[in-house]
Amino acid sequence: MHPPEIGVWIAAFLTIACLTFLYKDNPFFRFAESLFAGVSLGYYVGIVLNQTLLPNLIAPMREHFGQNWDLVVPGLLGVLLYMRYAPKIGWVSRYALAIYVTYYIGLDFTRRIHGEVLPQLARAIQPLSSFDRATFFSLVYVLGVFSVLVYFFFSKEQGPITRRISRLGIWFLMISFGAAFGFTVMGRVALLIGRLNFLILDWIYPTLGI
């Protein structure tokens, strides 16, 4: 068994520094936290430059400017975004921001309608052509979808009937949130398992020669 390399020691020290927060806030944790913030931002610089700006903006203009002359515009718009930090002409960044936000919101609009509303409604509308277990469960499903939608309808005050349907919707939501809690426990624990696995099997054991 080889002793762990220096990178493993660094990772182990940083892992333990973060875990010390569980006892109480301390300078080791603050150090690790600040380093994390700095390294994350530096990571962004590295990936944006190497994976987006170089291959999608700089290289196409450098190699085939005639085909890609229009890429000057997104490049300048990108720089324009940073003008918001200039006190007198910060308002020019609104052009870049407006284009960026409204484009992605336009994509979001089509995604919501075609990817969420229509397919989910289609699933909720099922034929009652046979009376078997599948149809019964489909009815339960449909009841759940519509009672939840009635619960979320806030535009008008709810009457006695809609209040009862809302209550059923809340029960469906509670089952869903309970399930979500159960899954969340699994998700969070998995992260801890990964870290402890690293500390024990990749650092402690090799250090002790196990």
Partner 1 sequence: MAGLFERIVNLDRRWIFLIVLLSVATPIVIPIGLPVTTTGPTRAAFEFIEALHEGDVVLISFDYGPSSAPENDPMAEAVMRQCALKKLRFIVCALYPLGGLGLANNVVAKITGELPNLRDGVDYVNLGYKDGPAAVMRRMGDDIAGAFPTDVHGKPISEIPLMKGVHDLRQVKLVFTAATSLIGEWWITQVHPQVGIPVIIGPTAVSAPKYYAYLNSGQLVGMVGGMKGAAEYESLLRARYPQLATFYTTTRAFTATKGMDGQTVLHTVILLLLVLGNVAYLRQRRASAKARA
Partner 2 sequence: MNLEFGRVTLVILFAIVPIVGFFLGLRAPALRSRIPIFVGVFAGLIPILSMYVPRKFIAGPTGMSPRLDQWLIILAGFALLLGIANVLQNNTRKISRREKGWPFSVVLLIGLFVTGGFGIYGGISGQGIGIAADGTPTPFQYVTNWFFQPLQSTIFSLLAFFMASAAFRAFRARNTEATILLVAAVLIMMGRVPLLELLAVPIPSLQPAAAFASQGLGKLTEWIMQTPNGAAQAGIIIGAALGAASMALRVILGIERGYLGLGKGD
Looking at residues 67 to 106 of the shown chain, list those that interact with partner 1 (rule: CB under 8 A).
103-104
Give the number of residues in contact with partner 2, rule: CB under 8 A: 120
144 binds, among partner 2, partner 1, none (CB under 5 to 8 A by kind): partner 2
Rounded to an integer, what distance in angstroms lies between the CA atom of residue 17 and that of residue 4?
Answer: 18
CA separation, residue 15 to residues 19, 20, 193, 196, 200 (Å): 6, 9, 13, 9, 12
CA separation, residue 65 to residues 1, 4, 77, 112 (Å): 55, 50, 18, 37
Q: Locate 30 and state its tokens.
A: 């603050």
Q: Is 62 in the site for partner 1 (CB under 8 A)?
A: no
Q: Of these, 62, 112, 164, 167, which contacts partner 1 (CB under 8 A)?
A: 112
Contact residues for 29 (Cβ-Cβ < 8 A; gap 6+): 17, 18, 20, 21
Q: How far is the CB of 161 from partner 1 (least distance, A)?
A: 26
Q: Is 108 in the site for partner 1 (CB under 8 A)?
A: yes
Q: Is 201 in the site for partner 1 (CB under 8 A)?
A: yes
Q: Of these, 45, 161, 186, 208, which contacts partner 1 (CB under 8 A)?
A: 186
Q: Of these, 122, 128, 161, 208, which contacts partner 1 (CB under 8 A)?
A: 122
Q: Is 204 in the site for partner 2 (CB under 8 A)?
A: no
Angle at 116 between CA 110 and CA 122, to 5 degrees: 120
